[in-house]
Amino acid sequence: MPEIKTETLAVRGVELTLRRAGEGPTLLLLHGANGSASWLPIMEALAEHYHVILPDHPGFGDTDQPDWMDNISDVAYFYLDVIEAMGLDSFHLAGHSMGGWIAAEIAIRNATRLKSLTLISAAGIRVDGTPMGDLFAWSPQETVTKAFAQHPFIDQMLAHEPDEAEIETILKNRQMAARLCWSPRLHNPDLKKWLHRLTLPTLILWGDSDGIFPEPYAHAYHALIPGSALEVYKNCGHVPMAEARDAFLSRLTTFTKGAA
């Protein structure tokens, strides 16, 4: 099994915590509002195929919040700085939920170092007439039932009692997510004007039972990014990496091989 190593990198006054594992083409994973926990279960499997890099965004997990970071645009530019600082080039970028939004914002600004872009259940655009789920107004229980479609996952998560350290991380992540995403809620009104700039190979993955960004969001992204590929998993909620794990792995690895 590939070993996951944790390290920190100083960029723009931020001590960025990141995890690395595996060998192969570099895959940079950007996590969503609830932190890197959503990527961790699949990281080892991904590390069989890639050199996976999974940072904690500033203000999330083990990375502290810089007081100047106010919005997703700040985060996107920050990551462009990180990419340069790490010397990453010709790598694959994949983002989930809020991380997908960050990935899209990075790519429309500067895709020169990217080989491919994968957006999974991504935030970033608003589909009028189809409201987003208000994850900032849900109880922990509601969040689980809205984010997952399959009962084994729902039951497992509802049964889980977080300890003090976990609670603290959850609260920290929610706080930073609120700071970045509260208003305009989980989207950038200007993003849809510039998604046409994404001429690199782009894959959009979604669950048909996503309670946060319902399926129409997947199709909206697909329409806004000409040449993108779209797959929607049946009976899958907001976290395809969990609820459609095998199909997800297979599709992603195939996609990135084709985009090499």
Contact 243, 210 (CB under 8 A): no
The minimum distance between CB 247 and other proteins, in angstroms, equals 33
Under 8 Å between Cβ of 172 and 88: no
Least distance to other proteins from the beta carbon of 126, Å? 13
Q: Which helix (H) or strand (E) covers residue 119, if one does?
A: strand 114-120
By CB under 8 A, is residue 260 in contact with other proteins? Answer: no
* Residue 167 in contact with other proteins, rule: CB under 8 A: yes
Kindly write out the interface string for residues 126-145 of this chain, putting x where it contacts other proteins by CB under 8 A and - elsewhere. --------x-xxxxx-x---
- Closest distance to other proteins from the beta carbon of 155 (Å): 20
Q: At what angle do helices 98-109 and 164-181 cross, to 10 degrees?
A: 40
Q: Which of residues 98-117 bind other proteins (CB under 8 A)?
A: none
Amino acid at 122: A
Q: Is 178 in the site for other proteins (CB under 8 A)?
A: yes
Q: Is 186 left (phi over 0), alpha (psi -120 to 50) or beta?
A: left
Give kind and range of the element (H or E) at residue 28.
strand 26-30
Is 185 among the residues that bind other proteins (CB under 8 A)?
yes
User: Cα dist. 73→53, 99, 241, 258 in Å?
Assistant: 21, 12, 25, 30
Alpha carbon distances (Å) from 159 to 7, 71, 88, 108, 257 = 32, 34, 40, 41, 38
Give yes or no for residue 190 binding other proteins (CB under 8 A): no
Among 6, 156, 175, 235, binds other proteins (CB under 8 A): 175
Nearer to other proteins, 112 or 139 (CB): 139
Using CB under 8 A, which residues numbered 142 to 161 contact other proteins? 142
Sole window of 93-101, 173-181, 223-231, 246-254 interacting with other proteins (rule: CB under 8 A)? 173-181
Count of residues of this chain found to bind other proteins when the rule CB under 8 A is applied: 21
Q: Are 35 and 41 in contact (CB under 8 A)?
A: no
Is residue 234 part of the contact set for other proteins (CB under 8 A)? no
In this chain, which stretch among 37-45, 150-158, 164-172, 233-241 interacts with other proteins, using CB under 8 A? 164-172
- Please, where are the H alpha helices in the chain? 40-47, 72-86, 98-109, 140-147, 151-159, 164-181, 191-194, 215-224, 240-243, 245-258
Q: Does 171 bind other proteins (CB under 8 A)?
A: yes
| Binding interface with other proteins (CB under 8 A) | 134, 136-140, 142, 164, 167-168, 171-172, 174-179, 182-183, 185
